[in-house]
């Protein structure tokens, strides 16, 4: 069962755009629907993105982990259709974890066929965290990420009296990564990992993460997405 949480001003992007052949600046607001497989880790991270002026956005969290990757995509489709809000960008966030390869691949293909964007990670969402510190290019088991993240953060802490211990549901990971890590490097290295993968056997792309695509949209740095929004506005949508 999904829990729907209204988050004022949390995951909306507003920017000024001057329409062609006019001198008027138009404030454009984009609405995101983000459906997460994880109960706490992913929702807590995305909630911490810088607040923008706006009305309301929905962040969907599932009660407990273990829901299948396909169900995440189906829930995103269902919520998009039932909502009175017209979303500009709809995302399904899930990991490879221990799910069977065919189910993982099928979920990504189903999302694509239904215009749902996927911020998937193989094997775990924590790969995105680790890329803020290291260009990780070899496969890792999900249980290895905890220690790797702890080592990366502790190497950056000057006062060694403070020892960082990673917790999956830590609500401060976005802020911590901003302080000790480098999001721009994470995006760069995630793109590099993505560039070497071909075909549709996504389960074999380890390590790999598409989270950077959602992050770029939320930051207002996705040229493709921004152009799409401007095109909608110019067409009167």
> pLDDT value at position 22?
58
- Spatial neighbors of 80 by CB under 8 A, at least 6 apart, are 33, 87, 90, 116
Split at pLDDT 50, 70, 90, the class of 120 is: very high
Q: For the segment 49-85, what is each residue's pLDDT rounded down to a tens digit?
A: 876 544 334 444 444 455 788 989 998 999 889 888 8
Q: Spell out the domain ranges in the chain.
A: 2-234
| 175-189 average pLDDT score | 97
Split at pLDDT 50, 70, 90, the class of 232 is: confident
Q: Is the pLDDT reported for residue 4 higher than 60?
A: no
Partners of 121 in the beta sheet? 95, 209
Split at pLDDT 50, 70, 90, the class of 32 is: confident
- For tokens 């506005």, name the residue: 233
- Spatial neighbors of 187 by CB under 8 A, at least 6 apart, are 212, 215, 216
Q: Is the pLDDT reported for residue 2 higher than 50?
A: no
Q: For the segment 124-133, what is each residue's pLDDT rounded down to a tens digit?
A: 999 999 999 9
Q: Is the pLDDT reported for residue 26 higher than 50?
A: yes
Listed ranges 11-15, 42-46, 92-96, 224-228; the one with the highest mean pLDDT = 92-96
Q: Is the pLDDT reported for residue 11 higher than 90?
A: no
> pLDDT value at position 84?
84
């Amino acid at each position: 069962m999904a829990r729907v949480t209204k988050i004022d001003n949390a995951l909306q992007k507003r920017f000024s755009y001057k329409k062609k052949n006019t001198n008027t600046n138009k404030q454009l607001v984009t609405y995101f629907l983000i459906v997460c497989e994880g109960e706490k880790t992913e929702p807590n991270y995305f909630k911490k993105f810088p607040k923008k002026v706006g009305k309301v956005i929905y962040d969907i969290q599932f009660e407990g982990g273990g829901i299948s990757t396909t169900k995440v995509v189906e829930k995103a489709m269902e919520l998009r259709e039932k909502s009175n809000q017209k979303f500009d960008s709809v995302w399904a966030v899930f990991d490879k974890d221990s799910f069977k390869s065919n189910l993982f691949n099928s979920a990504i293909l189903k999302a694509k066929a239904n215009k749902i964007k996927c911020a998937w990670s193989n094997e775990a969402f924590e790969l995105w965290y680790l890329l803020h510190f290291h260009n990780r290019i070899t496969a890792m088991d999900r249980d290895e990420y905890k220690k790797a993240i702890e080592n990366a953060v502790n190497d950056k802490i000057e006062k060694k009296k403070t020892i960082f211990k990673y917790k999956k549901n830590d609500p401060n990971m976005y802020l911590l990564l901003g302080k000790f890590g480098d999001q721009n490097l994470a995006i760069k290295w995630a793109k590099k990992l993505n560039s070497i993968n071909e075909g549709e056997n996504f389960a074999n792309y380890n390590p790999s993460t598409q989270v950077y695509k959602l992050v770029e949209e939320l930051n207002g740095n996705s040229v493709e997405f921004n152009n799409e929004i401007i095109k909608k506005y110019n067409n009167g949508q």
